[in-house]
Amino acid sequence: MQHFWDKSLSWGTAGIFVAAAIGVLAVVIFFVTYAIYFERKFIGWMQYRKGPNRTGPLGLLQTVADVSKLLLKEDTIPKKADRGLFILAPALAFIPSFAVLAFIPYTLNLQFADLNVGFLYYIALSGITTIAIVVAGWASNNKYSLLGGMRSAAQMISYEVPLVMSVVGVVMMSGSLNLRDIVISQEGYFWHWNFLPQILGFGIFLIAAVSELNRTPFDLPEAESELVAGYHVEYSGFRFAFFMLTEYIYVYAIASLTTILFLGGWNSPIPALDFVPGLIWFFLKFAVIVFCLFWIRATFPRLRVDQLMGLAWKALLPLAILNIFLTAIGIEWIG
Amino acid sequence: MKGMLKGLGVTLKTMGTKKVTMSYPDVPIQMPDRFRGIQYFEPDKCIVCNQCARICPTDCITLTGKANPDPEKKGKVIDTFDVNFEICILCDLCTEVCPTEAIVMTNNFELAAYSRDDLYKDKQWLYENNRNIREDNNNIGSPKGGAK
Amino acid sequence: MIRTEELLLNVGPQHPSTHGVFRIIVKLDGEVITEATPVMGYLHRGTEKLAENLNFTQIIPYTDRMDYVSAMTNNYVLCHAVEKMMGLEIPERAEFLRLIVMEMQRIASHLVWWGTYLLDIGAISPFLYAFSDRERILGLFNELCGARLTYNYMRVGGVKWDAPEGWIDRVKTLVKDMYNRLDEYHNLVSGNEIFLSRIKGVGQYDAETAINYGLSGANLRCTGVQWDLRKAEPYSLYDRFQFDVPVGKNGDCFDRYQIRMAEIEQSLRILDQALEQFPGDGETMGKVPRVIRPPAGEIYVRIESPRGEIGCHIVSKGKAEPYRLKFRRPSFVNLQILPKLLVGENMTNLVTILGGIDIVLGEVDC
């Protein structure tokens, strides 16, 4: 893709961009459909259940049926809601989530846009989704939504700090913010991947990432048992589907990001296995991370708000800073 | 950390175990014999003693009798017998007090209907509800003859 | 100047964590509760008033519907009160059956509590783990008395059904399996650091407060008061069996959690012994007059239900119907401490504390 960016924009290149964007959208929607399916299947199996098995063979069309139902649903907007913002919020949440996918390098050459500040781009855009969630909570004019929205804002802002800090170590080791360069710097055996030298950063990144995703055990903004559904209490039908889609696209983004930053991207664990295409390695690592998210969701209870904040500021942030110092010392001494 | 890892181990182990889900609407559930389902009523056995209606805690049984059409015989025969399944709680007391086992429980439990009127079951319907009739109507625990 | 105001939040009657149709109006300062007013009565069916026009056999199915998670103990308290009033002799086999089903019911009830409490705290799997095991107990009840929830099993003077063929052996297998399942439960959540940090030190009160509020069951024992009616005032056959009364010391949600889990274990112990001593044959119904007419007078009988002290007060005028019937429902009494506990707590702790009290709305509203 990169050489198209270097040319001046013409109708032809614009058409290619649009086609590629639609391609990415299709891949992502396919992922979301089956991520939801497998999430329900895995959690079902972990709970002595069979999971969805009625719609289509093995229940494979369950998500399709659910989405069609959401699309056919009556679109309700509460009378006292702030109409403009209420309509805006789902779109505002979705657009950045889709835009962050542009920079992910799946293999050496398969990448939509090669940005020099790849990781910062992700952080910058994903912050907009937080605003969308606060807007949704506010515009619904519902007290549960408002509490959920406020929690979400506090949580996302707090956890972005350790998330960024934990990656600084990786950036220092590879000397670049460009995600492609970060993957290239991890070539070799699997112990060259960043997750071993950066084990502390990896741990912090995982915790902060799960929190950024608003998933168990950090799903406070939509804590079902106390806030009913949090910021999307009043949303139904298509607008709700957009929030759902956003959430799962971020799962996709975070899983890709973890693969790239810490698990060597498309690199094979040992050079002898290089004959397997890089895309398959990428997908395998990606799938393991997504599975872990489901697995955690099936097992863990939820944290409390004050504990959540305490964890971010009192534990993760100091550790992330420590990690930066340790990395600096490591680079200085070992090289 | 240790406790969390243990928990993760339990869920992972459960993934491979046998599932408990029943395929209920496809495969009917076999209830044990003593199950208290919708009653079966046999008009020929009924002696119109009214005990079931009196013992019913929710007053869901209404019945009327008429003189025996056979002038040779004494006593009454049942004329109408209605159970209102909107309020019947299937408590088993009517079958417990019935001296002739004219009313007995069956193992059928599917009562859903689109209209409330459908839940008023009459003599004929209850007589036709003759599948899965409870075999063991052991009335050992009942105060014989009801109360009042 | 920034003006802040308190947020009046209506939690319930339709809310996933109020365990039924219970409503709390909370005033929130940020996420901190400054005032909580419980509103109850949405499930009030007037059982006690209805009972005045029913004879004692007819009341039994109504008691099933009070604490629908533990119908057997409700059956028992009513039958026990009437039997005591009339001075009836209960055959040993019937009494054994009653005790066995009551202890099974205690396990089933605590399993429901365990599953839903963890669900309140945000873990979804324990709920299904607990229910898959409770299902086995309900299946056994279904074989015994033909219903899975509203058993109507006990009668004044005995029980309705004798144990069917092989039932006792199936209960024995269940008890054996339950020990292993209990270990798995502990592995799944009891050590989870997130869970422990959520419940330790939350909803704390001392023994004096607990007694002043009239709490009973695990809510009282968590403060260190050793008060279990099965030990303190043995009824049924409880004086024949060895078991301990687990107590806590801090009076917080963590202690209540531990006590309930330990109680499952103690119930299994009682079941082990009761199944061993179960008499080979015998009557299941004592000699009962045709019409049950307790002599004029009144009586108060209390037993230990899974939720605490359930009592039955009968005023009789010598008729087949009670003149007045009053149930002391443990859920209702235990709930009264809630507004006191909630003040100053976080919104998240509302569900932790409410769940920890273990209420059943059918019993609160009766």
Q: Residue ranges of the domains in chain B?
A: 30-128
How far does C8 lie from chain A, in Å, by closest CA?
Answer: 9
Alpha-carbon torsion angle A278, A280, A283, A289, nearest 10: -90
How far does A313 lie from chain B, in Å, by closest CA?
Answer: 19
CB contact under 8 Å between A48 and B14, yes or no, is yes
Structure-token pair, residue B99: 């001296």
CB contact under 8 Å between C135 and B31, yes or no, is no
CB distance from B12 to chain A under 8 Å?
A: yes
CB contact under 8 Å between C16 and A143, yes or no, is no
Annotated ligand binding at B60? The verdict is no
Query: Which of B:59-88 have CB within 8 Å of C?
Result: none
Q: What is the pLDDT of residues A148-201, one digit of tens each?
A: 888 888 888 888 888 888 888 888 888 888 888 888 888 777 777 877 778 888
Structure-token pair, residue C229: 């009616």
Nearest to C9 among A49, A143, A300 (CB): A143
Q: Please give the residue of chain B at the shortest CA–CA distance from A48.
A: B19
All residues of chain B having their beta carbon less than 8 Å from the beta carbon of residue C192 are 3-4, 6-7
Start-end of H helices in chain B? 2-15, 51-55, 93-97, 123-128
pLDDT score recorded for residue B141 = 44
CB contact under 8 Å between A48 and B21, yes or no, is yes
Mean pLDDT of C285-308: 87
Nearest to C194 among A225, A297, A300 (CB): A300
Residues A76, A199: Cα–Cα separation, whole Å: 47
Cis peptide before B143 (omega within 30 of 0): no
pLDDT confidence tier of residue B143, bands split at 50, 70 and 90: very low
CB contact under 8 Å between B7 and A300, yes or no, is yes
When the pLDDT of each residue in chain C is averaged and rounded to a whole number, the result is 88
pLDDT score recorded for residue C110 = 92
Structure-token pair, residue C292: 């049950």
Give the residue from B8, B11, B17 with the most A CB atoms within 10 Å of its CB, the best one to mutate.
B11
Report percent pLDDT > 70 for chain C: 100
CB distance from B22 to chain A under 8 Å?
A: no
Nearest to B8 among A47, A49, A299 (CB): A299
Residues with Cβ within 8 Å of C72's Cβ and at least 6 positions away in sequence, in order, are C98, C101, C102, C104, C105, C141, C151, C153, C154
Give the residue from A142, A226, A309 with the most C CB atoms within 10 Å of its CB, the best one to mutate.
A226
Half-sphere exposure of C109 (CA within 13 A, CB side): 28
Neighboring chains of B (3 or more beta-carbon pairs < 8 A): A, C
Mean pLDDT of B47-52: 87
Q: What is the DSSP string of C327-354?
A: EE-HHHHHHTTHHHHHTT-BHHHHHHHH
pLDDT score recorded for residue B146 = 38
pLDDT confidence tier of residue C107, bands split at 50, 70 and 90: very high
Structure-token pair, residue C19: 């365990």
Residue in A209, A173, A188 with CA at minimum distance from that of residue A332: A173
Nearest to B36 among C135, C146, C284 (CB): C146
How far does B3 lie from chain C, in Å, by closest CA?
Answer: 4
CB distance from C187 to chain B under 8 Å?
A: yes
Alpha-carbon torsion angle B52, B55, B57, B60, nearest 10: 20
DSSP A240: H
Mean pLDDT of C69-93: 89
CB contact under 8 Å between A299 and B11, yes or no, is yes
Residues with Cβ within 8 Å of C354's Cβ and at least 6 positions away in sequence, in order, are C17, C18, C19, C24, C120, C338
Structure-token pair, residue B97: 């007090």
CB contact under 8 Å between C348 and A220, yes or no, is yes
Annotated ligand binding at B52? The verdict is yes
CB distance from B9 to chain A under 8 Å?
A: no
pLDDT score recorded for residue B139 = 61
All residues of chain B having their beta carbon less than 8 Å from the beta carbon of residue C147 are 35-36, 90
Structure-token pair, residue B36: 């208290």
CB distance from B17 to chain A under 8 Å?
A: yes
Residues C185, C179: Cα–Cα separation, whole Å: 10
Residues A107, A187: Cα–Cα separation, whole Å: 13
Neighboring chains of A (3 or more beta-carbon pairs < 8 A): B, C
Dihedral sign for Cα A43, A25, A155, A75, please.
negative
All residues of chain A having their beta carbon less than 8 Å from the beta carbon of residue C15 are 228
All residues of chain C having their beta carbon less than 8 Å from the beta carbon of residue A224 are 16, 122
All residues of chain A having their beta carbon less than 8 Å from the beta carbon of residue B21 are 48-50
Q: Please give the residue of chain B at the shortest CA–CA distance from A53.
A: B23
When the pLDDT of each residue in chain B is averaged and rounded to a whole number, the result is 83
Nearest to C121 among A47, A298, A301 (CB): A301
CATH of domain B30-128: 3.30.70.3270
Structure-token pair, residue A323: 């990690």
Q: Quickly tell me which residue has 């259940």 as its tokens.
A: A49
Residue bearing the bigger pLDDT, B143 or C173: C173
CATH of domain C42-337: 1.10.645.10
Mean pLDDT of B124-133: 86
pTM for the complete prediction?
Answer: 0.88
How far does B59 lie from chain A, in Å, by closest CA?
Answer: 40
How far does A276 lie from chain B, in Å, by closest CA?
Answer: 29
CB contact under 8 Å between B15 and A45, yes or no, is yes
R_g of chain B computed on alpha carbons = 22
pLDDT one digit per residue (tens) for chain A, 335 residues: 666 666 777 787 888 888 888 888 888 888 888 888 998 898 899 888 888 888 888 888 888 898 888 889 888 888 888 888 888 888 888 888 888 888 888 877 777 777 778 788 888 888 888 888 888 888 888 888 888 888 888 888 888 888 888 888 888 888 888 888 888 888 777 777 877 778 888 888 888 888 888 887 888 777 666 777 778 888 888 888 888 888 888 888 888 888 888 888 788 777 777 777 878 888 888 889 889 888 888 888 888 888 888 888 888 889 988 988 888 888 888 76
Residue B144 has pLDDT above 60, yes or no: no
Residue in C316, C283, C274 with CA at minimum distance from that of residue C83: C316
3-state helix, strand, coil in chain A (%, to 5): 75, 0, 25
Q: Are C317 and C323 in contact (CB under 8 A)?
A: yes
Q: How many CB atoms sit inside 10 A of residue A16's CB?
A: 13
ipTM metric: 0.84
Give the residue from C78, C90, C160, C185 with the most B CB atoms within 10 Å of its CB, the best one to mutate.
C160
DSSP B62: E
Domain-wise residue ranges, chain A:
1-72, 83-334
Mean pLDDT of B42-70: 87
The phi-psi region of residue A12 (left if phi > 0; otherwise alpha if psi is between -120 and 50; otherwise beta) is alpha
Nearest to C57 among B10, B134, B143 (CB): B143
Say what angle helices C125-145 and B2-15 make with each other, to 10 degrees: 60
Residue in A102, A118, A122 with CA at minimum distance from that of residue A25: A102
How far does C23 lie from chain A, in Å, by closest CA?
Answer: 13
Annotated ligand binding at B94? The verdict is yes
Residues A296, A215: Cα–Cα separation, whole Å: 9
**In this structure, what are the phi and psi dihedrals at residue A197, rounded to the nearest 5 degrees?**
-65, -25
All residues of chain A having their beta carbon less than 8 Å from the beta carbon of residue C188 are 299
Residue A72, classed as helix, strand or coil, is helix
Domain-wise residue ranges, chain C:
42-337
CB distance from B13 to chain A under 8 Å?
A: no
Q: Are B63 and B81 in contact (CB under 8 A)?
A: yes
Structure-token pair, residue C226: 């050793």
